Amino acid sequence: MGKGQRATQVYKSTEFIEQRRDEDGLVVGSDPFKLAPSSSASLLETEKALKTGDTAAVAEAGAAEPAAAAASADTAKHGGEHTSELDTVPTFILVTTYLSYLMLIVFAHLRDFFGKLRHPEEYVQLREQNGWAPMVSDFESLWTRRLYGRIRDCFNRPITGVAGGHVNLLERVSHDFNKSFEFTGRVRNVLNLASYNYLGFAQSEGPCADKVEAAMREHGLTQASTRAEAGCSQLLVETEEMVARFVGTEAALIVSMGYATNALNIPALVGRGCLILSDELNHSSLVSGARLSGASIRVFRHNDVASLEAELRRSITQGQPRTHRPWKKILVVVEGLYSMEGEFCRLPEIVALRRRYGFYLFVDEAHSIGALGKRGRGVCDHFGVNPQEVDVLMGTFTKSFGAAGGYIAGSRALVSHLRLKSHSAVYAEAMSVPVLAQVSSSMRMIMGEDREHALEGQQRLDQLAVNARYFARRLAEMGFMTMGDAGSPVVPLLLFSPAKIPAFSRECLKRNVAVVVVSYPATPIITGRVRFCISASHTRADLDYALEQVSEIGDLLMLKFHKGDASAKRVAELEGGGRIKTE
């Protein structure tokens, strides 16, 4: 924490923090980081905050969040929040949700049955024909054709330009029940609560974009080779060093795609005779990586440290199946911030287990790096855990940094090994120059190393924290059932019923708000949800507008399940997670 305190002091010594402290923290006016002015002083002039009593605590918490203290104080509380939230679901909702799905499936089969009778030609490709098996089988595609098909307009909505605080959506209509879409030619500017633009670095102007352009002029565009062959540039080496410094490890390896960072690197770490213990809600890329590695895979209950410990004790003592040979290595794979749940992994407890049981710990910080912690260094920073205590720190640049690809950081031995043996380094294309430049320029800004914009990075971090807390708290106050920990930039709101899922998305779009809705198979069947991604580039007006609309839609769709006490309890929970006694 020594470094962190120093950074805070530098930050506090400026006038900016004085100004911020007695104000709300939410920004009024346009996107605070859009068309970033040449100096941070003039950037400050663009924001004017409101002073209201009810958000003072939020602002306070956001402006100075001593991560470690908060973490150790409330980690115990975090556990089981996910399940306890679900325990309070009214039975009526549970029953109707299951019934709705049942109805959908029955109707899907009925429609298929009559469809096959009336238009057999449309179903030809689903059957075996003349010795050719169908490419997609009838049963497999039922979900896609009959359930997903109904709500296809809520996904893959094309955009143009930058996915910033607002985004330009290409308007489309369907005349054949979502089988095909037609573009109207109109472009709609909507409020973006969907993109992972946590720190607002998705920009086409400003200091980062300027640096990207300069880098392209100097280094060209791409490498057309792999990192291990002829695709390693000086720029790549320097950026890797910077990433390592940022994360707090000895070294780092950069991979040109986020999914590949997991899928192609885990096989270089574990193999046959090794065991992977994986959280049940881990991302698909981690699952692919685990499968490709050839190691045995066991799953423990989401964020349940007791379940992990029980599994560890069983695995270590029983050894491999049948032979009882001891496992060569055990790799525990968790995510820093679960992007569908908005929950942090319980890192301090897992690290304590690591010390006791001697497994290796792999933390996927795809969503948490840059978005969590006082200094934006991810979940370790948030909980005040020394990054050395995590063996493999993985993260992506797609989210907070407005770039693409990912990294693996850890000890020098680990990274050297990966440079030689990781499938991504040896076989996959090296990262392109503009992406590298975006990573390094945004990261430099977050670290406060960009002299011309020394404060902007910290300001973005604070802004995100304030925005996220404000949004989550207001939703809870309104009586919505939300998930996730306090301070998470991802705020999921439970919708349950499959009919409400597309309805919510369409209503939001009607009101010029872009949101992401997710349901089975991305979530458990019962907990369909809408997921808001909060960004530092949202202003107070943006968030208030969104909250107002969401509240109206909530009334319309009868989503405010929490009444009185339950709502107050949730608000207290969210506040408790972040309430900090400052100075």
Partner 1 sequence: MDSQPTPGEPAGNEPSRGLLRTAWDFSFRMVLRYIKNSYKDDPFRTFLEVCLIAFIIWYITKQKYNIGNNEIVLSEKEIDELVEEWNPEPLVPELTAFERETLEKAIVIDGPNGTKVRLASGSNTKPLINFASYNFLGFLDNPQIEEHAYETLRKYGVGSCGPPGFYGTLDVHMELEKQVAAFVGHSSAILYSQAFTTTLSVIPCFSKRGDIIVADEGVNFSIQQAVMLSRSKVHWYKHNDMADLERVLNEVNVQLANRRGKKALPRKFIVTEGLFQNTGDIAPLDELVDLKHRYKFRIILDESYSFGVLGKRGAGLTDHYSINPHEVDLLIGALCYAIGASGGFCCADKELVEHQRLSGLGYCFSASMPGILTVAASDAIQILEANPDNYLVSMRENAVLLRSLLKRIPGLQVEGDNDSPLIHIRLTPETLVRMKRSGGAWTNTDIDRVLIELTEEVQKDGVLLTPSRYVDEHERLLPNSSIRICVSSAHTRKEIEKCAHAVKSAVSRITSKKR
Could you say whether residue 329 binds partner 1 (CB under 8 A)?
yes
Stretch that binds partner 1, among 4-12, 24-32, 150-158, 491-499 (CB under 8 A): 150-158
Report the residue from 11, 259, 344, 470 that binds partner 1 according to the rule CB under 8 A. Answer: 259
Q: Which is nearer to partner 1, 114 or 427 (CB)?
A: 427
Could you say whether residue 338 binds partner 1 (CB under 8 A)?
no
Could you say whether residue 52 binds partner 1 (CB under 8 A)?
no
| CA-to-CA separations, 530 to 49, 176, 340, 482, in angstroms, rounded | 29, 26, 9, 10
Report the residue from 75, 226, 463, 519 that binds partner 1 according to the rule CB under 8 A. Answer: 226
Residues 165 to 194: which contact partner 1 by CB under 8 A? 167, 169-170, 192, 194
Encoded amino acid at 83, one letter: T
Q: Which is nearer to partner 1, 212 or 454 (CB)?
A: 212
Q: How far is the CB of 370 from partner 1 (least distance, A)?
A: 12
Minimal CA–CA distance to 38: which of 437, 443, 375, 450?
Answer: 450
Q: Tokens 């990075």 label which residue?
A: 457
Task: Give the count of residues interacting with partner 1 (CB under 8 A).
Answer: 127
Q: How far is CA 287 from the centre of its chain?
A: 17
Stretch that binds partner 1, among 6-14, 33-41, 82-90, 140-148 (CB under 8 A): 140-148
In three-state secondary structure terms, 279 is strand
Could you say whether residue 570 binds partner 1 (CB under 8 A)?
no
Residues 503 to 532: which contact partner 1 by CB under 8 A? 514, 516
Q: How far apart are the first and last CA of the chain?
A: 17
DSSP 50: -
Q: How far is the CB of 121 from partner 1 (least distance, A)?
A: 14
Sorted by sequence, the CB contacts under 8 Å of residue 556 that are 6+ apart come out as 507
Residues 370 to 409: which contact partner 1 by CB under 8 A? 391-392, 396-399, 401-404
Report the residue from 327, 471, 480, 532 that binds partner 1 according to the rule CB under 8 A. Answer: 327
Structure tokens at 20: 């911020």
Strand partners, 213: none
How many CB atoms lie under 10 A from the CB of residue 121? 6
Q: How far is CA 283 from the centre of its chain?
A: 10
How many CB atoms lie under 10 A from the CB of residue 266? 29
Q: Which is nearer to partner 1, 53 or 321 (CB)?
A: 321
| CA-to-CA separations, 544 to 325, 362, 363, 572, in angstroms, rounded | 59, 38, 34, 21
- Contact status, residue 429 vs residue 421, Cβ threshold 8 Å: no
Alpha helices in 346-455 (DSSP H): 347-357, 379-383, 412-421, 423-427, 433-446
Could you say whether residue 357 binds partner 1 (CB under 8 A)?
yes
Residues 116 to 135: which contact partner 1 by CB under 8 A? 125, 128, 130-135
Report the residue from 98, 123, 148, 520 that binds partner 1 according to the rule CB under 8 A. Answer: 148
Q: How far is the CB of 443 from partner 1 (least distance, A)?
A: 13
Secondary structure element (H or E) that encloses residue 107, with its range: helix 91-118
Report the residue from 360, 471, 480, 504 that binds partner 1 according to the rule CB under 8 A. Answer: 360
Q: How far is CA 36 from the centre of its chain?
A: 25
Q: What is the biggest distance separating any 2 CA atoms in the chain, rounded to whole angstroms?
A: 78
Encoded amino acid at 180, one letter: S
Over the window 76 to 115, marking each residue x when it contacts partner 1 by CB under 8 A and - when it does not, the resulting string is ----------------------------------------
Report the residue from 34, 78, 146, 157 that binds partner 1 according to the rule CB under 8 A. Answer: 157
Could you say whether residue 562 binds partner 1 (CB under 8 A)?
no
Could you say whether residue 59 binds partner 1 (CB under 8 A)?
no
Could you say whether residue 155 binds partner 1 (CB under 8 A)?
yes
| CA-to-CA separations, 351 to 4, 265, 275, 386, in angstroms, rounded | 20, 22, 18, 10
Q: Which is nearer to partner 1, 170 or 351 (CB)?
A: 170
Q: How far is the CB of 539 from partner 1 (least distance, A)?
A: 18
Torsion sign across C-alpha atoms 124, 126, 128, 133: positive
Q: Which is nearer to partner 1, 486 or 533 (CB)?
A: 533
Could you say whether residue 328 binds partner 1 (CB under 8 A)?
yes
Give the separation between CA 245 and CA 273, rounded to whole angstroms.
34
Encoded amino acid at 560, one letter: K
Residues 235 to 254: which contact partner 1 by CB under 8 A? 237
Three-point CA angle 409, 411, 415, nearest 5°: 60
Residues 409 to 448: which contact partner 1 by CB under 8 A? 413-414, 416-424, 426-429, 432-435, 437-438
Burial environment of residue 252 by CB neighbours within 10 A (0 to 12, 13 to 18, 19 or more): buried
Stretch that binds partner 1, among 28-36, 317-325, 370-378, 502-510 (CB under 8 A): 317-325
Report the residue from 35, 41, 136, 572 that binds partner 1 according to the rule CB under 8 A. Answer: 136
Q: Which is nearer to partner 1, 200 or 348 (CB)?
A: 200
Stretch that binds partner 1, among 1-9, 37-45, 220-228, 544-552 (CB under 8 A): 220-228
Residues 459 to 478: which contact partner 1 by CB under 8 A? none
Give the separation between CA 26 and CA 7, rounded to whole angstroms.
22
Could you say whether residue 322 binds partner 1 (CB under 8 A)?
yes
How many CB atoms lie under 10 A from the CB of residue 554? 21
Residues 190 to 209: which contact partner 1 by CB under 8 A? 192, 194-197, 201-205, 208-209
Give the separation between CA 481 and CA 483, rounded to whole angstroms.
7
Could you say whether residue 561 binds partner 1 (CB under 8 A)?
no
Residues 264 to 293: which contact partner 1 by CB under 8 A? 264, 267-269, 283-285, 288, 291-292
